[in-house]
Structure 1
Amino acid sequence: MFRKYCIYIYAKSHDYAVSIGRIGKLECDFILRDHDSNYSYVQVAYTILASKETEDREYKSLEQIKDNYPKYVATTDYLLQKRNGIKHINIIDFMKNCEKF
């Protein structure tokens, strides 16, 4: 829960409009919109490396979104991967480097 709160505060501090979304029965933790109406989708988890089941759960809802806006799985993992164009980011490094979604 703390990680989600951190992402929320970080996104708001970078002037993103933040909402929560549903894709069918699946939930997307955050849908972010910038001033130019560009969207980004973010799933937040502590780790996805612990099990294939956890990894699949976090990627599944983002894989259901068929537009071309950026999609992220944000974790505390340092071993990062990319799956179907979805970026796996380390929350701490992302914020420390002041990156944008």
Structure 2
Amino acid sequence: MSSLSTHVLDAVAGAPAAGVAVVLYRDTEVLGSGTTDDDGRIAALAAVLPPGTYRLVFDTGAYFAAREIESFYPEVAITFVVIEERHYHVPLLLSPFAFSTYRGS
């Protein structure tokens, strides 16, 4: 079965984004959740991911509010598809008014 990790980087601070709450969904079911560590990582959001469509939701609004930084996106939702058995890593590069992501390794 596939597994999943994530990493959040704060482009404004030029550092890992520690303390970002993340929830993993399949449809409306919560499969896992966590908060990024001091290195901006969650090593294991899910140990088992069968093929299907999933959604990661990052609480970016709370992250920036805690730093007293105005932001445009209260959350970032990334929907992705698990097709084959492998480890999936979903990094998020974050700023108050933009974000980007890609399938990592």
* Fold equivalence (TM over 0.5): no
Which structure is higher in helix share? 1
Which structure is higher in strand share? 2
Question: What is the TM-score normalised by the length of structure 1?
Answer: 0.26
Question: What is the TM-score normalised by the length of structure 2?
Answer: 0.25
